[in-house]
C-alpha cells in the first residue's frame, strides 16, 4: 500500500462543539512523509498529530504546542485513517475543529467526491513487539496486541437501560464511509447542565448530537434544557432518544466510540499493525494507549 493524500483543498465552516465559536478549516494535500499536521492560522503555529502533543481529553481530544491548541481533532483523524489518507495539512482558524453534524461523514463525502492521490512511497506501518495494556480506575481497558494489519474492537457499557452493551469492529476491509463515518457523537440528557457548567458543549444542538434520555425530566428543568438547545418542544419526558431521533444503526453510539478511537489511535503516529481491543474507551485512555505505542 502506497501513501495517499488529497487531490485538492477542502473548506469547512461551522461552530465548535465545546466553545460554541464559529471556525473555518482548510484541509490541504501534503507531501510524502508529512503525516497529519494541524496549523493554527490565527497564531501561525504548527501542531503535529502525535500523542505527545495531547494536552486535554475532557470530552474530546485536544492537542497543543505552546499556547496554540486545537480541540476535537478525533473526528477528522478518524476520517483520514478510515479512508487511508497518510498525509494532510489541517489549517484551522480557532482553538477547536467544527463539530459539523457530529460525525466524520461531512469530511468523508467531500474527500471521496474527488478520490485520493496515490503517492510514490510505501505506507509506513507501526509495528509493536509485545502487547500493551492500559487500564484506569473506572474499569476501562485497552489492549494493543501485535498483528499483521490494523483492527479495532470496542465494547461500550454505560450501565444504560437505553444503550445496553454495544460492540463495534473496524479493520481495513470495512467500508468506513458507510459503516462508521455517519455515526454521531452522543451524550446523556442528565449530563448537559453539568457539562455546560464546565464550559463544554456550548455548540451542541439537536442536529449534531444524539442525546440519550435515561432519566426523564419535566417542569422547570425540562424548560432549561430546551433553552440550552435554543429550541421549543423538545420531548424530555420519556426514556429513549431526545426528540424521537432515529438512529442510523442500532449500535450507532458504539460505532461512534469506534470512530473516536480510530482517530485517537492515529496519534500513535500512523497506521498501527496491531489489534486494539477496547472496553469502555474514552479519549483519556485512548490517547494514553496511543502514547504508549509512540514511546515504544
Q: What is the pLDDT of residues 92-132, one digit of tens each?
A: 999 999 999 999 999 999 999 999 999 999 998 999 999 99
Residue 199, pLDDT above cutoff 70:
no
Would you state the cell numbers that stand for residue 294, as one nine-digit string? 509512540
In a domain, 10, yes or no: yes
Question: What is the rounded average pLDDT of the residues 66-91?
Answer: 97
Residue 144, pLDDT above cutoff 90:
yes
Burial label, 43 (beta-carbon count in 10 A; 0-12, 13-18, 19+): middle
In a domain, 257, yes or no: no
Q: Are strands 271-279 and 141-146 parallel, antiparallel or unpaired?
A: antiparallel
pLDDT score for 2: 97
191 shares its domain with 116? no
In a domain, 80, yes or no: yes
Residue 203, pLDDT above cutoff 80:
no
**Active-site residue 283, yes or no?**
yes
Quick one: DSSP state of residue 36? E
Would you state the cell numbers that stand for residue 153, as one nine-digit string? 474492537
Residue where a domain terminates, one of 98, 124, 150: 124
Q: What is the DSSP string of 233-249?
A: ----SSSEEGGGPPPSS
In a domain, 56, yes or no: yes
Question: What is the rounded average pLDDT of the residues 7-19?
Answer: 90
Burial label, 56 (beta-carbon count in 10 A; 0-12, 13-18, 19+): middle
Split at pLDDT 50, 70, 90, the class of 239 is confident
Buried b (16+ CB within 10 A) or exposed e, 128-138: beeebebeeee
108 shares its domain with 200? no
pLDDT score for 241: 85
Domain that holds residue 204: 186-244
In a domain, 148, yes or no: no
Q: Mapping DSSP to helix (H, G, I), strand (E, B) and coil, where does residue 226 land? A: helix
Residue where a domain terminates, one of 124, 139, 162: 124
Q: Mapping DSSP to helix (H, G, I), strand (E, B) and coil, where does residue 95 land? A: coil
Domain containing 26 — which CATH number?
Answer: 3.30.230.20
Mean pLDDT in the chain?
A: 91
In a domain, 70, yes or no: yes
CA 142 from chain centre, in angstroms, equals: 17
7 shares its domain with 96? yes
pLDDT digits (tens, 9 = 90+) for 279-288: 999 999 999 9
Which one is catalytic: 18, 75, 275, 283?
A: 283
pLDDT digits (tens, 9 = 90+) for 213-228: 887 777 777 777 666 6
Count the domains in the chain.
Answer: 2
Measured at the CA of 259, the angle between CA 258 and CA 261, to 5 degrees, comes to 65
Residue where a domain terminates, one of 80, 101, 124: 124
Residue 244, pLDDT above cutoff 90:
no
pTM metric for this prediction: 0.93
In a domain, 170, yes or no: no
18 shares its domain with 111? yes
Least confident of 10-14, 57-61, 81-85, 177-181: 57-61
Total Cβ atoms within 10 A of residue 296: 13
8 shares its domain with 118? yes
Q: What is the DSSP string of 96-149?
A: B-B-TTSSSHHHHHHHHTT-EEEEEEE--EEE-SS-EEEE-TTS-EEEEEE-SS
In a domain, 249, yes or no: no
Amino acid at each position: 500500500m502506497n501513501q495517499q493524500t488529497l487531490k485538492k483543498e477542502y473548506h469547512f465552516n461551522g461552530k465548535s462543539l465545546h466553545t460554541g465559536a464559529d471556525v473555518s478549516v482548510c484541509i490541504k494535500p501534503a507531501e510524502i512523509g508529512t503525516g497529519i499536521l494541524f496549523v493554527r492560522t490565527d497564531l501561525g503555529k504548527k501542531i503535529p498529530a502525535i500523542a505527545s502533543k495531547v494536552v486535554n481529553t475532557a470530552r474530546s481530544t485536544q492537542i497543543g504546542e505552546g499556547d496554540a491548541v486545537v480541540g476535537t481533532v478525533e473526528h477528522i483523524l478518524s476520517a483520514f485513517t478510515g479512508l487511508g489518507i497518510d498525509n494532510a495539512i489541517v489549517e484551522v482558524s480557532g482553538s477547536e475543529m467544527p463539530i459539523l453534524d457530529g460525525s466524520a461523514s461531512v469530511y468523508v463525502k467531500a474527500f471521496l467526491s474527488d478520490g485520493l492521490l496515490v503517492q510514490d512511497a510505501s505506507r509506513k506501518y507501526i509495528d509493536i513487539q509485545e502487547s500493551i495494556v492500559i487500564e484506569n480506575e473506572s474499569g476501562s481497558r485497552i489492549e494493543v496486541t501485535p498483528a499483521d494489519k490494523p483492527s479495532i474492537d470496542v465494547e461500550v457499557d454505560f450501565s444504560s437501560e437505553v444503550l445496553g452493551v454495544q460492540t463495534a469492529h473496524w479493520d481495513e476491509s470495512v467500508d468506513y464511509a458507510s459503516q462508521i463515518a455517519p455515526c454521531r457523537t452522543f451524550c446523556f440528557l442528565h449530563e448537559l447542565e453539568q457539562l455546560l457548567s464546565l464550559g463544554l458543549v456550548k455548540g451542541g444542538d439537536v442536529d449534531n448530537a444524539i442525546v440519550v434520555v435515561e432519566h426523564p425530566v419535566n417542569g422547570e428543568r425540562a424548560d432549561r434544557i430546551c433553552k440550552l438547545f435554543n429550541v421549543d418542544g423538545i420531548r424530555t419526558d420519556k426514556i429513549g432518544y431526545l426528540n424521537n431521533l432515529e438512529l442510523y444503526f442500532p449500535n450507532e453510539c458504539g460505532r461512534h466510540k469506534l470512530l473516536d478511537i480510530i482517530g485517537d489511535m492515529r496519534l500513535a503516529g500512523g497506521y498501527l499493525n496491531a489489534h486494539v481491543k477496547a472496553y469502555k474507551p474514552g479519549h483519556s485512555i485512548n490517547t494514553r494507549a496511543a502514547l504508549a505505542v509512540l514511546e515504544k
